[in-house]
Amino acid sequence: MSLRFAHWPGAYFIANLVILNMCLMTLASAQDQCREARQKALTEFYANAYTKTVVLLNFCLKQDGLSDSTKIDIYALLSRAHLANKDSAAAVRDILSLLDLTPAFVPDDINYTSGYRKFFDQVKAYKTKKSRSKKWLWIGGGAAATTGVVLAIISRKTTERKVFLPDPPGRPQ
């Protein structure tokens, strides 16, 4: 019987469909788990349980296939939780990750406190200043390197013996 099953062409197709279905169910269940974890994290955040919020959101970030809007929401809440937990270094890291996803992100007045908005603006200004300084470092470094190469070529001493050609012959008479 197993021999007939192996020779039946539709068996491979059905087996592949079953495997694909299992993979999709696993992905869907991971996203459902992440959605539930995000809801619980939001509840824990408003209950001032910031450590639980961080743990739940870090679980979500480890999931594959998250959309950018989901990651933006997670990083925004994660940075707020870290800042409320007085872990400003982690909050800066989360805000920088958020700005990498969407540089135009601006926290609104309704969902974010004025202290968080001020902190966010400082991190955003730091990132902008840092990227500008890198640009000028490359431009300045390139100019300095070019100048150094040109000066090295000009001031290069040759060790070859200079050969002088004889004077040209005189004018014909």
What are the pLDDT digits (tens) for 54-112? 999 998 888 888 888 888 899 999 999 999 988 888 899 999 999 999 888 888 888 88
Per-residue pLDDT band at 127 (split at 50, 70, 90): confident
Domains and CATH numbers, the chain: 38-149 (1.25.40)
Crossing angle of helices 68-84 and 88-101, rounded to 10°? 160
Token pair for residue 24?
Answer: 């999709």
- The amino acid that residue 147 corresponds to is T
Q: Which two tokens stand for residue 34?
A: 């992440």
Residue 80 confidence (pLDDT): 92
Hey, what are 160's tokens?
Answer: 């070859």
> Which of the 8 DSSP states describes residue 64?
S
**With bands split at pLDDT 50, 70 and 90, how would you rate the model's confidence at 10?**
low
For residue 154, give the amino acid letter.
I
Q: How far is it, in rounded angstroms, from Cα 23 to Cα 26? A: 5
CA distance 70 to 159: 67
Global pTM reads: 0.59
In the predicted model, what is the mean pLDDT of the chain? 77
> For residue 51, which of 62, 61, 60, 41 has the smallest C-alpha distance?
41
